Amino acid sequence: MFATLKFAALLLAVVVCWATQDYDYNDAEIDEEPTLGDSPYGSLWPLPQKVQISTVVFKLSGASFHIFDAKESSSGASCRLLQNAYRRYDEYIFTSSRKQGQNKSKKALASDMSELQVWITSADSECDSYPSVTSDESYKLSVDSPVAVLKAPKVWGALRGLETFSQLVYKDEYGAKSINRTDIHDFPRFAHRGLLLDTSRHFLPIKVILANLEAMAWNKFNVFHWHIVDDPSFPYLSRTFPQLSQHGAYQPYTHVYTPSDVKMIIEFARLRGIRVVPEFDTPGHTQSWGKGQKDLLTPCYSGASPSGSFGPVNPMLNTTYDFMSMFFKEVSTVFPDAYVHLGGDEVNFSCWKSNPDIQKFMEQQGFGMDYSKLESFYMQRLLDIVTTTNKGYMIWQEVFDNGVKLKSDTVVHVWMGNKVEEELQKVTEAGFTTILSAPWYLDYISYGQDWQKYYRAEPLGFKGTDTQKKLVIGGEACLWGEYVDATNLTPRLWPRASAVGERLWSDRDVRDLNDAYSRLAKHRCRMVQRGIPAEPLFTGYCAHEYKGV
Amino acid sequence: MFATLKFAALLLAVVVCWATQDYDYNDAEIDEEPTLGDSPYGSLWPLPQKVQISTVVFKLSGASFHIFDAKESSSGASCRLLQNAYRRYDEYIFTSSRKQGQNKSKKALASDMSELQVWITSADSECDSYPSVTSDESYKLSVDSPVAVLKAPKVWGALRGLETFSQLVYKDEYGAKSINRTDIHDFPRFAHRGLLLDTSRHFLPIKVILANLEAMAWNKFNVFHWHIVDDPSFPYLSRTFPQLSQHGAYQPYTHVYTPSDVKMIIEFARLRGIRVVPEFDTPGHTQSWGKGQKDLLTPCYSGASPSGSFGPVNPMLNTTYDFMSMFFKEVSTVFPDAYVHLGGDEVNFSCWKSNPDIQKFMEQQGFGMDYSKLESFYMQRLLDIVTTTNKGYMIWQEVFDNGVKLKSDTVVHVWMGNKVEEELQKVTEAGFTTILSAPWYLDYISYGQDWQKYYRAEPLGFKGTDTQKKLVIGGEACLWGEYVDATNLTPRLWPRASAVGERLWSDRDVRDLNDAYSRLAKHRCRMVQRGIPAEPLFTGYCAHEYKGV
């Protein structure tokens, strides 16, 4: 159908019948499940803010098509970030169809799309910077013959636009790489679109983290929330306190992240416009810290004598704060992001209560029996320490709930499943920025298409003023590690996290489940073809099935 | 600890402290979950019927240790099945620790375990046969220095014993391959220990099927129930009716099983003592059959005229039975197993009811409005057809429930979740053999350690005589394919199916959850080390994490 319309006028109406896509997905008519029609938006995921797709089709020749810098661009051949991205997307677009030894200088036909020009429009492309919460990720993409133009103020928008461009390319019925005349103006709805991975409950090999950063970029996520340590293990190799991983990691050599591992992960993420926000959660969730750092944790008592087990960080010792000062000073230099996540969730008071020294300290401080005051006492001092490192901080909602005094740029992380809207109201009423994870705990699996549940969640569904709504800067999908390691993480995460990706990027009104199902099914097949074992949404197939086991 | 006890007397009590196993798994003490102590049975899975493990330890040298035929064995170097198995288990036992170029004739030390002799004791080893429901899988394994002896009447028992032997080997604290003096007498509790995979809802590449057959052997499963076709697709390439897959497969070239694929799968399974029982489910679940075979399905009516859609197989046409005769004649030659699974589940009557020709036929046959009589009419004729091919058949429980006359050797497959015990009572009271799947639908996933639920299920928990109980010949774990393909099948299956494997192999009294947890955690790490991405049971780690993504 396309082929015959090659030279028809540009139709501004958003209409395309993607009958001959590369990413087939069988109709699910047999079982009673969402209908799988073809979306007018093909396989775009997440859906851009403004899209106009015409029925005019151009071909991309593997011999002549290239992505390169527009000559007006403020960012040239010296920008490694963009050059890397061009190579990556050239590979995604042509997979195996660009044959070696082809004549690259072959003349393009009139109907060919011969190049994609990438034009960074602002004077500072930010090519060598790290992305931040204020990074401009907007872009405009105009696909026309013989040249497609991708304009973006910064490299971050160019990265998003390259992904979008690659999603517009499909194979026609003869297998020829094709793209429709298209106009897109795109920008994210929320600035913070994160994914939490937990490397403490199970160690995740570097390879797994990198693969998932790659998949994050395909879904326009821009924050890797690295829940790097927790009770079960401490895989972060600290230069200042190497004994922490020496004694706290599952294995001190094979199950750790060395400084160069961390550096590599941060750079790999940066090249994809992804921030790396590390979480060092205290004062709870710290059992593994105690193995390498004497006196850091509170000794629990059984009656009048120590039981031999330990509780949260000991908040009454000066040595605790000395340690934290040095530790977070290191963290602030290792991780370039402007924010560090300080945790502060789920502090169990029973050990503190059992300890006579703590009891005395409570009395001295006038805390009565309110151990949340002791928790706040600790958090307050910790926050002050981190402030001196010039980092902003994120904290789990309990820290706010307990009335700890927070810097105005603090990000409050809402995770508890009950009273979510009430919490969002309170946090924003108090003037704090916030991100939402409560509806997106992907570690909770269930039978069937649970991506729909994640997709339906609406971060601004609470009652509040426009000012309050603006304080919700995004959200994060969380994949806690109790039941997840390298064997099952990737298929469990994708495409379920993709649903969150679209909710955080696309317009609020983008919520048609049937349309989403059609696009997501194709998007997941694309992820599979690019090498990520994204699991199926339902009965069906991909033209190219996963090649691994 | 072991090393110092090398020459201590054989302790017949079953005691071992596996403090220095290769397959470490961290204690789960932090979160509130089953306690993970060390099992006296190490990493054995499923647990053999009778085990005696002493504290005396022998070493296995990669340079000198070999598995070979005992000279008294009825099966020699010409038995490809055993020679293949020796090579496989040598590799599993020594992984990367047997260095190339080592002097294989190096003299063994006195404390070394220098060889495992495999002794097939009955005159017919069955080396070149296919396994069957009556195959003898028993074996006796005596591990002593300098020779371990594995005695089995048939090759099938030898295969099971080789797996057990490999599970007894561990690394001591210096990394040396070690094994304790051990006596085992083992045999399966149930003869039919199956796994159902569904290659219709999603196509499973050959590689995935083979990998899972391998994992089945590690868990002592012996039946691959191949649910090869169903509504969504028909990947079986029939020589007689090639149009079935030509039109009914997702893709006629890439998403089919050719005759040589099928042959390879059957031989790969045979070499591991695994039967391949194909299921060609009719008269329902046949939408994909209709695409290549005209007039096979019942045309549905909307009012007075055909609606264009089709229902179950058309039971009133002679052409239907001509087709089935030819089709199952082919099936009976392609699949060597004595049984074929004929399905017969979930027949929807609405299409039959809508069709005026069927209504007339019902009248002629005197069925009144009872469409289950029509279903039985079809099944009866089908069973008679299959009987002429000299195959036995398995059927889903509805066929029995509807009163179809069955051959005495029919296996009734109980799958419905309600009234399971009642159904087992009825089926066995009627004198039929039966297998159970109702508690083991592994496609239903949930958060947490659901393996325990599968493990607790007891196939003989219903009220009945000893004769009735003997008719329960086993069970099958089912992994239906709605949400499963190559991307996520393997980690979703293992080690959850392992729980079913032990329930079907080990003694009824083997049901200590803590002991099982300890062994299974190690067994899953072993599967990971052997290359299968078996997912974690809970927080923890393996010494060798999965290397893929």
> pLDDT per residue over A177-189, tens digit each?
999 999 999 999 9
Of B202, B250, B528, the CB nearest to A536: B202
Q: What is the pLDDT along chain B (549 residues), one digit of tens a residue?
A: 333 333 333 332 333 323 233 333 333 333 345 566 789 999 999 999 999 999 999 999 888 899 999 999 999 889 999 999 999 999 999 875 544 444 445 555 557 888 999 999 999 999 999 999 999 999 999 999 889 999 999 999 999 999 999 999 999 999 899 999 999 999 999 999 999 999 999 999 999 999 999 999 999 999 999 999 999 999 999 999 999 999 999 999 999 999 999 999 999 999 999 999 999 999 999 999 999 999 999 999 999 999 999 999 999 999 999 999 999 999 999 999 999 999 999 999 999 999 999 999 999 999 999 999 999 999 999 999 999 999 999 999 999 999 998 989 999 999 999 999 999 999 999 999 999 999 999 999 999 999 999 999 999 999 999 999 999 999 999 999 999 999 999 999 999 999 999 999 999 999 999 999 999 999 999 999 999 999 999 999 999 999 887
Q: How far is A341 from chain B (nearest CA, A)?
A: 22
Its CATH architecture, for the domain B50-100+107-186, is 2-Layer Sandwich (3.30)
Q: Are A474 and A452 in contact (CB under 8 A)?
A: no
Among B539, B544, B547, pick the best mutation site for testing chain A contact (most A Cβ within 10 A): B539
Res B35: pLDDT: 63
Of B205, B528, B549, the CB nearest to A211: B549
Verify whether the Cβ–Cβ distance A549 to B490 is below 8 Å. Answer: yes
Verify whether the Cβ–Cβ distance A533 to B488 is below 8 Å. Answer: yes
Q: Are A307 and A300 in contact (CB under 8 A)?
A: yes
Q: Which residue of B has its CA nearest to A248?
A: B26
Of B26, B445, B533, the CB nearest to A446: B445
Q: How far is B453 from chain A (nearest CA, A)?
A: 16
Start and end residues for every CATH 3.20.20.80 domain found in chain B: 192-530
Q: Are B55 and B100 in contact (CB under 8 A)?
A: no
Tokens representing A278 are 């590390």
Start and end residues for every CATH 3.30.379.10 domain found in chain B: 50-100+107-186
Verify whether the Cβ–Cβ distance A26 to B444 is below 8 Å. Answer: no
Verify whether the Cβ–Cβ distance B549 to A483 is below 8 Å. Answer: no
B227: nearest Cα among B445, B525, B443: B443
Res B31: pLDDT: 37
Q: Is A423 helix (H, G, I), strand (E, B) or coil?
A: helix
Among B32, B203, B485, pick the best mutation site for testing chain A contact (most A Cβ within 10 A): B485
Chain B neighbors of A232, CB-CB under 8 A: 26, 30, 539-540
Q: How far is B94 from chain A (nearest CA, A)?
A: 20
pTM for the whole structure: 0.92
Q: How far is B120 from chain A (nearest CA, A)?
A: 34
Instruction: Say which residues have a Cβ less than 8 Å from residue B182's Cβ, sequence separation at least 6.
Output: B51, B52, B53, B54, B141, B142, B143, B168
Verify whether the Cβ–Cβ distance B488 to A535 is below 8 Å. Answer: yes
Tokens 């209409």 map to which residue? Answer: A15
Task: Report the C-alpha gap between A282 and A331 in whole angstroms.
Answer: 14
Q: Which residue of A has its CA nearest to B248?
A: A26
Q: pLDDT tens-digit profile of A335-385?
A: 999 999 999 999 999 999 999 999 999 999 999 999 999 999 999 999 999
Of A30, A484, A547, the CB nearest to B232: A30
Among A206, A233, A539, A544, pick the best mutation site for testing chain B contact (most B Cβ within 10 A): A539
The set of catalytic residues of A is 346
Phi, psi of B194 (to 5 degrees): -115, 165
Q: Are B353 and B411 in contact (CB under 8 A)?
A: no
Verify whether the Cβ–Cβ distance A536 to B483 is below 8 Å. Answer: yes
Of B207, B536, B540, the CB nearest to A549: B207
Task: Report the C-alpha gap between B41 and B21 in whole angstroms.
Answer: 12
Q: How far is A109 from chain B (nearest CA, A)?
A: 32
Query: What ipTM does the predicted assembly reach?
Result: 0.91
- Choose the catalytic residue: B346, B421, B429, B545: B346
Poorest-pLDDT segment among A90-104, A160-174, B312-326: A90-104
Of A287, A445, A535, the CB nearest to B30: A287
Res A476: pLDDT: 98
Q: Is A115 helix (H, G, I), strand (E, B) or coil?
A: strand
Task: Report the C-alpha gap between A419 and A423 in whole angstroms.
Answer: 6
Verify whether the Cβ–Cβ distance B287 to A486 is below 8 Å. Answer: no
Ranges of H-type helices in A222-270: 243-248, 259-270
Mean pLDDT of chain A: 91
Res A370: pLDDT: 95
Q: Among residues of chain A, what percentage have pLDDT more than 90?
A: 86
Task: Report the C-alpha gap between B446 and A289 in whole angstroms.
Answer: 32
Fold that domain A192-530 belongs to in CATH: TIM Barrel (3.20.20)
- What angle in degrees, to the nearest 10, is found between the helix axes of A371-387 and A318-334? 40
Chain A neighbors of B482, CB-CB under 8 A: 31, 538-539
B318-324, long-range: CB within 8 Å, 24+ apart, which pairs? B319/B295, B320/B295, B320/B296, B321/B381, B321/B382, B321/B385, B323/B241, B323/B293, B323/B296, B324/B282, B324/B381, B324/B382, B324/B385
A353: nearest Cα among A370, A366, A337: A370
B463-481 as b/e, with b when 16 or more CB fall inside 10 Å? Answer: ebeeebeebbbbbbbbbbb
Q: pLDDT tens-digit profile of A3-24?
A: 333 333 333 233 332 323 333 3
Chain A neighbors of B203, CB-CB under 8 A: 541, 545
Q: What is the mean pLDDT of residues A164-168?
A: 98
Q: Is A77 helix (H, G, I), strand (E, B) or coil?
A: coil
DSSP calls for A185-198: EE--S-SEEEEEEE
Q: pLDDT tens-digit profile of A394-441?
A: 999 999 999 998 989 999 999 999 999 999 999 999 999 999 999 999
Task: Report the C-alpha gap between B124 and A136 in whole angstroms.
Answer: 76
Verify whether the Cβ–Cβ distance A549 to B203 is below 8 Å. Answer: no
Verify whether the Cβ–Cβ distance B546 to A486 is below 8 Å. Answer: yes
Q: Are A179 and A60 in contact (CB under 8 A)?
A: yes
Verify whether the Cβ–Cβ distance B447 to A445 is below 8 Å. Answer: yes
Verify whether the Cβ–Cβ distance A548 to B547 is below 8 Å. Answer: no
Task: Report the C-alpha gap between B478 and B281 in whole angstroms.
Answer: 15
Q: How far is B123 from chain A (nearest CA, A)?
A: 40
Q: How confident is the model at residue A511 (pLDDT cuts 50, 70, 90)?
A: very high
Of A26, A211, A232, the CB nearest to B26: A232
Among B25, B202, B487, B489, pick the best mutation site for testing chain A contact (most A Cβ within 10 A): B487
Burial (CB < 10 A; 0-12, 13-18, 19+), residue A549, is: buried
Ranges of H-type helices in A402-487: 420-429, 451-456, 466-470
Task: Report the C-alpha gap between A312 and A314 in whole angstroms.
Answer: 6
Verify whether the Cβ–Cβ distance A539 to B211 is below 8 Å. Answer: no
Res A13: pLDDT: 31
Verify whether the Cβ–Cβ distance B447 to A447 is below 8 Å. Answer: no
